[in-house]
Structure 1
């Protein structure tokens, strides 16, 4: 969101700014996410949140909207947030992504989540049973990654 658009929003009365912002969100998503609807009466929180989120996920041109939704699906799946995942699946469906493409994002999230669980678990086992640990100095005994601070 460019600085002029931000100034324009800030100069409006809070209720008008919230209505305009939520109308734009509805245009983009086809619905207003629950959390934004919940925050409707909290313009001091809602407006900066939407502007920040928008500047991260919607204003740059390096990723297309379909890719952004697949990332959102993968992350919400990995975090096990059904509410976010269901909304982003609906948005992805409206954007024309197939069930198989969406499932691929879920599969990737599952694989990364699995790797994360295994990485933490195996390091904890190595520490407990073999005395190996990552102490932040020099090189990690477990993963052999040098600390370059």
Structure 2
């Protein structure tokens, strides 16, 4: 959303601005997501949220809309947000993505979610049973590349 469009929206009466913003969302998605519909009586929250979301997911040209929807589906799957996942699946379907392409995004999200569970669980086990703090474990080749300023040591491969 360019600055001129933002200025236009901000200068409108709140109800008119909300109507315009939601109309743009409906054009993009083919529907108004529940969260935005819920917030329609809160223009001071709704408008900045939509502008922020648009600036990240809709306004740049580095990723195409299909890729953005696949990312949304994968993340929704990983964080187990059924509502977001269903909406983004509908949007992806409207964009022409196949069931198989969408399922691949779900599988990737599931793999990332699984990795997150395992990463946290194994680190907690190491800490409890070995007394080591895995983030700075001197025997870990991944953590020991170089000190990255966060207290995590990582080892140089020179």
State the aligned residue count. 146
Scaled by the length of structure 1, what TM-score is found?
Answer: 0.93
Counterparts of 2:94 and 2:35, CA distance in 1: 20
Structure 1 residues 127 and 84: alpha-carbon distance in aligned structure 2, compared to 1, 3 A threshold: same
8 Å Cα contact 1:76-1:85 kept in structure 2: yes
The higher relative CO (CA closer than 8 Å, separation ≥ 6) is in 1
State the partner residue of 2:137.
140
Structure 1 residues 143 and 15: alpha-carbon distance in aligned structure 2, compared to 1, 3 A threshold: farther
8 Å Cα contact 2:126-2:134 kept in structure 1: no
4+ long deviations beyond 2 Å: 139-144
1:1-149 equivalences under 5 Å are 1-134=1-134, 139-141=136-138, 143-144=140-141, 145-146=143-144, 147-149=147-149
Structure 1 residues 7 and 111: alpha-carbon distance in aligned structure 2, compared to 1, 3 A threshold: same
**Structure 1 unmatched ranges of 5 or more:** none
C-alpha offsets along residues 104-123 of structure 1, whole Å, 9 cap, x if unaligned? 00000111111111111111
Scaled by the length of structure 2, what TM-score is found?
Answer: 0.88
**Structure 2 unmatched ranges of 5 or more:** 150-158
C-alpha offsets along residues 71-104 of structure 1, whole Å, 9 cap, x if unaligned? 0001111111110000000000000000000000
